[in-house]
Amino acid sequence: MRKEMYGYLAVTLAALMWGVGGSAAKFLFNQAVSPQLLVKLRLTLSFFILFAGLAVYNRNLLVIARRDIGYFALLGALGMSMLQFTYLLTISLTNVATAVFLQYLSPIFMALYALIWEKTPLGWQGGLSVGLAAAGGFFIMLNAGGASGISILGVFSGLVSALVMAFNTIYSRRAVREYHPVTAVTYFFGFAALFWWVITPYGWEPGTITRTHWLMFLYIAVFSTVVPFLLYFTGIRYLPPTNVGVIACLEPVIAAVVAYLALGEVMGWLQVLGGLLVVAAVILIQFAPQTPVAPDTEKEQATG
C-alpha cells in the first residue's frame, strides 16, 4: 500500500472517531459540565495516558531535543489548546452546525498557504475538492438551522478556529517528520494542558463530578482525543496539509449519520447533499497531484 493511502485511511478514521465522540461531549454539556473544564480534563487525561504508556513501552519516545521544547510549547499553547477553546466558544455563541462548518473552512486557509508561501499549485482537482468540501459543510449547517441566531463574535471565533486548525496542521509537519507521531502528540497535549491549568487554575466543586462523568471524560480522552489525534498526525506525516483538511471534513458528515442512526434525528435533503459533496471532495483530492511531504530518510525514534 502506498504511504499516501495510509495517510488517507488514518485521517478518515480520525474523522470517524471525532464524529462519534461529539455525542459524548454533548452528554457532558447537558450534565452542566463547562466547556473549559472538559477541555482541561480532556487534555490532561490524554497527556497522562500517553506519557504513562510511553514510560512503560519505550522511554526513548519521550526524548526530544532541547531546542524543540519551545516549538512544542508554542504548538501546544497556540495550536492544540486554542483549537479546543475557539471551537467550543463558537458553539456557545452560535450552535454546533455553525461551529463545525466554520472550523472546516480550514482547508481554504491551508490551500492559500500552500499556494502563496510554499508556491505549491493546487491543480484543478485540489481547488475543486476544497470548494466541494466547503459547500458541503455549508449545506449541512443550513439543514441543521445553522443560519439562525448567528452572532458576529461567534462567526469571528469560528474563523479563528479554522485559522488555528490550519496553523496546527501546517506547523506540526516538522514534529511528525522528526519525531514519532505519538511523541509529538504527547507533548502537544502536555503543553496544551499546562496552558489551561495556568490560565484556569481552579478545579470543580466537590460532588459535582460523578463516576459517570469520569467514565465519559476517560472515553473522550481515549477515543475522541488520543487515538484520533494520533491518526490525524500520522496522516499529516504522509499527506499535504490541504489533503488532510479536506478529508477531515468528513467529521460533520459522520456526526450527522450517527445522529440519524443512533438518536433518530431527521436528515434533510440539504444534509444529504452536503454529505455527498464532502465525500466527492475526499475522493477527488486523492487524484490531485501529490507533492513530497517528507524526506525518504526520517528521524525515527520509534526504534531508538
Residue-level pLDDT at 227: 94
Over residues 250-278, the mean pLDDT reads 75
Residue 151 is assigned to a structural domain of this protein? yes
| Number of neighbours of residue 215 by Cβ within 10 angstroms | 11
* Rounded distance between C-alpha atoms, residue 161 and residue 251, angstroms: 15
Residue 70 is assigned to a structural domain of this protein? yes
User: 193-247, pLDDT tens digit by residue?
Assistant: 999 999 988 877 676 788 889 999 999 999 999 999 999 999 988 888 888 888 8
- Contact criterion met (CB below 8 Å) for 95 and 145: yes
What is the pTM for the complete model shown? 0.79
Cell for 202? 481552579
User: 86-116, pLDDT tens digit by residue?
Assistant: 887 787 777 666 777 788 788 888 888 877 7
pLDDT value at 145 more than 60: no
Residue 283 buriedness (CB in 10 A; 0-12 / 13-18 / 19+): exposed
Amino acid at 26: K
**Where does the pLDDT of residue 183 fall: very low under 50, low under 70, confident under 90, or very high at 90 and above?**
very high
User: CA 40 → CA 62, 145, 198, 200, 261, distances in Å?
Assistant: 22, 29, 10, 9, 30
Residue 211 is assigned to a structural domain of this protein? no
Cell for 193? 494542558
Domain count, the chain: 1
- Phi first, then psi, for residue 77 (nearest 5°) are -75, -45
Residue 196 is assigned to a structural domain of this protein? yes
User: CA 252 → CA 27, 75, 97, 134, 178, distances in Å?
Assistant: 17, 25, 8, 12, 31
Residue 127 is assigned to a structural domain of this protein? yes
Residue 75 is assigned to a structural domain of this protein? yes
Tally helices (H) and strands (E) across the chain: 15, 0
Cell for 108? 481554504
Q: Of 42-51, 182-191, 226-235, 295-304, which gets the smallest average pLDDT?
A: 295-304
User: 289-298, pLDDT tens digit by residue?
Assistant: 655 554 443 4
Residue-level pLDDT at 51: 96
**Where does the pLDDT of residue 41 fall: very low under 50, low under 70, confident under 90, or very high at 90 and above?**
very high
Amino acid at 129: S
- Contact criterion met (CB below 8 Å) for 140 and 274: yes
Over residues 176-202, the mean pLDDT reads 93
Residue 223 is assigned to a structural domain of this protein? no
Structural domain span for residue 144 = 3-203+237-285
* Rounded distance between C-alpha atoms, residue 184 and residue 113, angstroms: 22
* Rounded distance between C-alpha atoms, residue 90 and residue 299, angstroms: 38
Q: Which residue has the cell 526504534?
A: 303
- Phi first, then psi, for residue 31 (nearest 5°) are -95, 20
Residue-level pLDDT at 290: 57
Q: Which residue has the cell 465519559?
A: 216
Residue 299 is assigned to a structural domain of this protein? no
* Rounded distance between C-alpha atoms, residue 91 and residue 116, angstroms: 31
CB half-sphere exposure, 166, CA atoms < 13 A = 20
Cell for 173? 509537519
* Rounded distance between C-alpha atoms, residue 255 and residue 143, angstroms: 13
Cell for 66? 532541547
